[in-house]
Amino acid sequence: MTERQQTAFKLFRAAGYSPDGAAALIGNFSQESGVNLRSGYTVKTDHGSQGIAQWRLDRLTHLEEFCEARGLHSGTLAAQVQFAIYELGTEYTTLDALLRKGGDLDLLTMMICNKYERPAKQFANIPNRIKQARITLNESKAAGAVVATGGLAAGSGLAAIIAYLQSGPSAGVIIAIAIMVLLGVAYLVASRKPKAVAEQEEPELIGQGETILAELHRAEADLLAAQARYNELKSKMLAHIKECQEAIGV
C-alpha cells in the first residue's frame, strides 16, 4: 500500500466508512488513477477525465464547484476524497450505506466499479481493482494490529499508543512492582542466618526490624521515582505525538 493509498483510506475511515468499504474505494481509485492516486490535473486525459476517480464532464465541474465553495484546491487528494464522500452521500445513497456498513470486499469493489465509476468495459480491469482493495485492507489491518503484552501493545498503531499513554499506568503494573519489592525484602530477611535462640537478643531484633523498615522506605522511594520518571516520559511522548499530528494535519 502506497502512502497516498494509506492517507485516502484513513480519510474514508475517519468519515465513517467501514474498513471493507474504504478499501473497496481505494481499490477502484487505484485502477482509475494509479496506486499513487494521482490527483493533480494532467494535460493528456481520457475524454477529459481528471483526479483519483477520473471525473469528467458534469461530475468534474461539480468537483471544481464543490472545492471552490469550500476554499479547497480541486487538484489535491484530500479535497477529492471529500468530494467523493459528498458525491456518494448525495447521489449514490444506497451504495454509500453499503460501504459504511461493510461486507464482502470483492462484491463492494465491483459495485463501486459498476455504479460509481462506470468505466468502459475494456478499462474496467475488475481483477486489479479487487487486488488493490485487498492489499489496502490487509496492510491496514497489519499496521493497526495490537498484540497485548501487558500494557503498551507491540506493533500497535498511533491510536493505541495514545490511548495507553493517556490512561496512565494500570493498577496491575503498580501492584506487580509493589509485589516484587516486597518479595525482594522477604528474600533479604529469609536469607539471613538465624541465630541460636540463646544468642538472640532484643536489640538485634529491633535492629532487624529497623533494617526491614529502611528497605521498605527505599523501595517506596524507588517506586515514587519510577512513577515520576514515567509521568515525565509520558508528557514528552504526548507532546511529540501532538507535534506529529499537527505536522501531518490529523
Q: What is the pLDDT of residue 41?
A: 79
**CATH architecture assigned to 3-143:** Orthogonal Bundle (1.10)
Q: What is the pLDDT of residue 145?
A: 43
Contacts of 192 (CB under 8 A, 6+ apart): 208
Q: What is the pLDDT of residue 184?
A: 59
What does the angle CA 15 – CA 19 – CA 23 come to, to the nearest 5 degrees? 95
How high is the mean pLDDT of the chain?
77
- Give the integer Cα–Cα distance in Å for 230 and 108: 46
Q: What is the pLDDT of residue 227?
A: 73
Extract the C-alpha cell encoding 65.
Answer: 464547484
- pLDDT one-digit tens code per residue, 61-88: 999 999 999 999 999 999 999 999 999 9
Q: What is the pLDDT of residue 7?
A: 95
- Give the integer Cα–Cα distance in Å for 37 and 39: 6
Q: What is the pLDDT of residue 70?
A: 94
Q: What is the pLDDT of residue 48?
A: 76
What does the angle CA 42 – CA 46 – CA 52 come to, to the nearest 5 degrees? 60
- Give the integer Cα–Cα distance in Å for 120 and 10: 29
Of the candidates 189, 161, 179, the residue with the CA atom closest to the CA atom of residue 245 = 161
- pLDDT one-digit tens code per residue, 98-138: 999 999 999 999 999 999 999 888 889 999 999 999 999 99
- pLDDT one-digit tens code per residue, 156-209: 344 444 443 444 444 444 444 555 555 555 555 555 554 444 444 444 444 555
134 versus 221: the higher-pLDDT residue is 134
Extract the C-alpha cell encoding 154.
Answer: 507491540
Percent of the chain with pLDDT over 70: 65
pLDDT range class, residue 224, cuts 50, 70, 90:
confident
Contact predicate 152/164, CB 8 Å = yes
Tell me the domain boundaries of the chain. 3-143, 158-248
Give yes or no for residue 37 having a pLDDT over 60. Answer: yes
> Which one-letter DSSP state was computed for residue 148?
-
For the whole model, what pTM was predicted?
A: 0.58
Cell 483519483: give the residue.
52
